[in-house]
Structure 1
């Protein structure tokens, strides 16, 4: 009897365990809803779809709450694509193993998994533009355009988020490797059929030609060869960024990964008329010096970054930087605050190429800025709590009759006012709360 009971219980256990595994193995449906993932089904979901955008969120996060309806609205549109993109979410505050596995340290964090490989998503977060942005990743590596209307439709639908490359009279195999390599940063296409009107519109007068468009900055250039891979890649890389690149968290990553030296210009305010005129001069210099990247940053717009280059000196100033902890000042060109800035820029570039430079160390950010950029609001609460406990211990350790009043809750919470102000401001793409 006992062997029979043992066998019976083993049989029950087998069916229970397999029913659980079967339930986890259920195929996911692409029905336009946002999938809820956890540690039991995450890997299965990632392996089930070629493209899946995962929102790692926390229930208490205000930015996460505002992002959620945007993802709900985008999900059915993306699911209806010829190559569907699925949206999913993970409560990273609850499923901490997943958060740790993917280095989630702030909320919300969006990871786009392409064939199981994650990359952090820094694109727009409003539903309509998020859809336009993500279409890029599900498109063919090289799109083949067979008419004037197909070309115009492609350029319109591509939007302004990525540079666009159109090969006129090129075989798609000539740019296929580059299209795969830079797929996450640009659109690639070849036009098989086109009229003379298109040649006039895109400003090229012979074929083969590779035209690059940067819609966000209204820039265009044309490459006539040679069409060997080395020269093609140089052209593609040089046009991934605009001629004069405004510094932001995202463009900094692109500039650092590019490999070229960066001519960095620091101004007081990018929106001032004098700064705008200077930016035009930077574009002209960049067009003639394609081996360099030209970037600019306003103290008013991005002080945390600008102060690395000693903004105590006279602005505007230009430095040569390679993304490391050091930068170069060109002797005699420490500032370009003159009337003829075009000549000053030329002299600076000449001095750099001749080696008339002085190496400087990037300035460390202030303590307050470090606290602001590296500590989340929960750390502030912990610090306030620790200080309060230390004050309490100190009070009792004195042993006197004097009563030392501790800060009340309203006073303790005062340091978090800046966080609440940030919470109330308009949500910007890329903002995170934790």
Structure 2
């Protein structure tokens, strides 16, 4: 064989290795059969132009390789080629990840988009809600994830077993749950049945629950004990902190050394407030812009702030003051006692607000949005959001239709720049549209349909107190062609691609 031939074959072999993948790409004619023939499948529905899909790709590949050893299949579907297949599975954005246990048992993937998180999530999905644990399997079960819970319960104690099983079903996406009825094993672990031991690979290593076996008490214990005393706030952990249901204290610092130093300094406060306030460090170089969301200056670090996550209220610590144990302790104690007023970021109230779309800012939010006599449709937008810009002319037209109708004093079409104003609502993305019906302001309804004028009108009519429906016909007859609704989906792939490629260091 000539040297040139050997070289060419070598290149081909290297290319084959480089392109080898443990992610199986499926098409319409192979998808159903593959899913039916495997007990557990994670599927990604993607588009090649999608920026978030490109960022996920190496993480997804790494997770697939790890999960291959567990016989958990990882697949992907190109929605630009398999349009019908993606529509059949309700794919509306990219990437969409779904967990399949056959074709009739499908659930959305709820974990972070990092290899370790994907692996952890899918391993938990592969386990039963509660696994049987023995003295021979305990050590291996403890290594199943960063946090695992094992209940030690007498075989005859059905009530405690049932309570634990209910918690396991509810939190199975978060932690692996195990059960042992071995009295000797419980004694070896230093507990007496009934008890729950939470094993973790951080902080003190384990925590023990010995209170009355009630589902709410066990669930609260799990959430509290599984949260690091002072963890790291980032893309992989942010949603967990937001869903914890208790306030979050941020420690902003620019270097790992400084974050460690401040954490050690504030550790006694975190210990005293465990289960009341969560504490976490955040990389100010990577995510310094998030300081602005907490009404801190985004260029002055280190910094400290508390967020009341359930009400989205912000409590920044004075950045002119030094972060000391005494100062932060006093600040946190006052916060817990309700003695600290929240900081409110707001644009000025508009001098005139008589346009077809009411302009909402933090200072007039309650007056407009929570006016209990009116159905209020409000759009939460960001100035940089491409989809918000595309929606703007249609939204103005929607406002004009109601302003000229018999419902002009009963229905308000409003918008708020959620990046410049503190709002109490939890906003996951832009634009977010919600309807606050008259007489029921505590329960807003989030809109999830196509962003067409006709669909928005139907949404208001179906969910508002006044069942207010208006007609587009009169407006369309005099409207310019550019304002007409001629497409079923207002978000084109080009626009979506632009949106996906935009980078923001929001958490």
| Match in the other structure for 1:122 | 112
Detail structure 1 runs of 4+ shifted over 6 Å in the superposition. none
Match of 1:184 in 2: 173
123 and 207 in structure 1: CA distance in 2 versus 1, 3 angstrom threshold: farther
Give CA deviations for 1:199-227 in whole Å, capped at 9, x if unaligned: 57x5x454432111222556421111122
Residues 1:68 and 1:334: Cα distance change in structure 2 (over 3 Å): closer
Report matched runs for 1:212-291 at 5 Å: 212-215=198-201, 219-260=205-246, 262-269=247-254, 271-273=256-258, 275-289=259-273, 290-291=275-276
Q: Residue 69 of structure 2 aligns to a residue in which SS?
A: helix
Give, in whole Å, the separation in 2 of the partners of 1:35 and 1:118: 19
CA distance, structure 2, for counterparts of residue 352 and residue 64 of structure 1: 39
SS at 1:358 equivalent: coil
Q: Whose radius of gyration is greater, 1 or 2? A: 1
Q: Deviations over 1:238-290 (max 9, x none)?
A: 22322223212232211222222x232232225124x3132235444333321
Partners of 1:315 and 1:336 within 8 A in 2: no
Q: How does 1:203-218 map to 2 (within 5 A)?
A: 204-215=190-201
Shift of 1:38: 4.0
Preserved contact between residue 269 and residue 299 of structure 1 (Cα < 8 Å): yes
Of 156, 161, 164, the match for 1:175: 164
- Report the TM-score when normalising by structure 1: 0.61
Question: How far is 1:314 from its partner?
Answer: 6.2
2:307 to 320, 336, 344: 320
More helix by share: 1
- Summarize deviations over 1:389-416 as a string: whole Å, max 9, x none: xxxxxxxxxxxxxxxxxxxxxxxxxxx9
Q: CA deviation at 1:123?
A: 5.4
Q: How many residues align?
A: 326
Secondary structure, aligned partner of 2:137: helix
5 Å-filtered alignment, 1:4-403, equals 36-39=25-28, 51-59=40-48, 63=55, 66=58, 70=62, 73=65, 76-79=68-71, 85-96=72-83, 99=86, 102-103=90-91, 105-107=93-95, 109-113=96-100, 115-122=105-112, 124-125=114-115, 133-147=121-135, 149-156=136-143, 158-160=144-146, 163-169=147-153, 172-193=161-182, 195=184, 204-215=190-201, 219-260=205-246, 262-269=247-254, 271-273=256-258, 275-289=259-273, 290-312=275-297, 315-322=302-309, 325-329=312-316, 334-335=318-319, 338=322, 341-361=324-344, 370=384
Contact 1:315 1:337 in 2 (8 A): no
Shift of 1:151: 1.0
Distance verdict in 2 for CA 1:91–1:259, change over 3 Å: same
CA RMSD between the two structures = 4.2
Task: Provide structure 1 residue ranges, at least 5 long, that are not aligned to the other structure.
Answer: 1-31, 80-84, 376-415, 423-434
Moved more, 177-186 or 292-301: 292-301
Higher relative contact order (CA 8 A, sep 6+): 1
Give the TM-score, by structure 2 length: 0.54
> 1:35: how far off?
5.1
Q: 2:68, 2:332 → 1: CA distance?
A: 52
Comparing 237-246 and 179-188, the one that deviates more: 237-246
Mapped to 2, the partners of 1:299 and 1:54 lie a distance apart of 34
**2: distance between equivalents of 1:369 and 1:167?**
50
